[in-house]
Structure 1
Amino acid sequence: MSQLEGAMAAMIKVFHKYSGKEGDKYTLSNGELKDLIKNELGNFLGIPKDQGAVDGIMKKLDANKDGQVDFKEYFVLIGALTMLSNAGKGQK
């Protein structure tokens, strides 16, 4: 498996590690998203100290306004963080 294929597999694996603990196994609830952010994205986002921070992230990600984050919406977060990380390295 190439490095990029491994990264893609890891993104999928992380999503499914947290999804489905509270309902639909193909979406992230607010609580699942908080756990994912805290455990997997703490270095990029800082660990949210309050539920309001996660609520704000959830509101921005939840494009279809169903109260959950599906894989497509999750990928928007991962893509945006990747772009920010790249920009921080002096790349455009």
Structure 2
Amino acid sequence: ITCEPEVGKMSTLEEHLEGIVNIFHQHSAHVGDFDTLSKSELRKLITRDLANTIKVGNTQDQATIDRIFQDLDDNKDGEVNFREFLLLIASVLETTHKNLHRDPALPDGSEN
């Protein structure tokens, strides 16, 4: 799939997609390669931009950040590239989607 920007107003989805790219680069530009996240950059991204979404363990805890980083760093180069970062975004979106379908009236929060 190739994406060619068109002149004109972006759709809401396109704006949100561009926002994801911008958030990635806001964090990736500080240490090393502009197109990868170091562990410290990933920690800042999670604690600042996903703190209300990622509730596995304590995101302030280094062991939790280490585990998330290790899970994302698919090619084991010590950095998280954009493609690897998208795995985190996909996981967060999947969980968010599931949570939106939960029925709060049911005791176990089961899906509708």
TM-score (norm 1): 0.94
Amino acid at match of 2:88: L
Could you say which structure has the larger radius of gyration?
2
C-alpha offsets along residues 13-58 of structure 1, whole Å, 9 cap, x if unaligned?
0000000311111100000000000000001114612111110000
Helix, strand or coil: the match of 2:29?
Answer: coil
Could you say which residue in structure 2 is the equivalent of 1:66?
Answer: 77
2: CA distance between counterparts of 1:68 and 1:49?
19
Could you say which residue in structure 2 is the equivalent of 1:6?
Answer: 15
2: CA distance between counterparts of 1:86 and 1:13?
22
- Superposed, which structure 2 residues align to 1:37-56 within 5 Å? 37-46=46-55, 48-56=59-67
Question: How many residue pairs are counted as aligned between the two chains?
Answer: 92
CA contact (8 A) 2:36 2:81 kept: yes
1: CA distance between counterparts of 2:100 and 2:48?
24
1: CA distance between counterparts of 2:60 and 2:28?
21
Higher relative contact order (CA 8 A, sep 6+): 1
TM-score (norm 2): 0.78
What percent identity do the matched residue pairs reach? 36
Helix, strand or coil: the match of 2:59?
Answer: coil
Q: Which runs of 4+ in 1 moved over 2 A?
A: none
CA contact (8 A) 2:47 2:60 kept: no
Aligned-residue Cα RMSD (Å) equals 1.5
Q: Which runs of 5+ in 2 are unaligned?
A: 1-9, 103-110
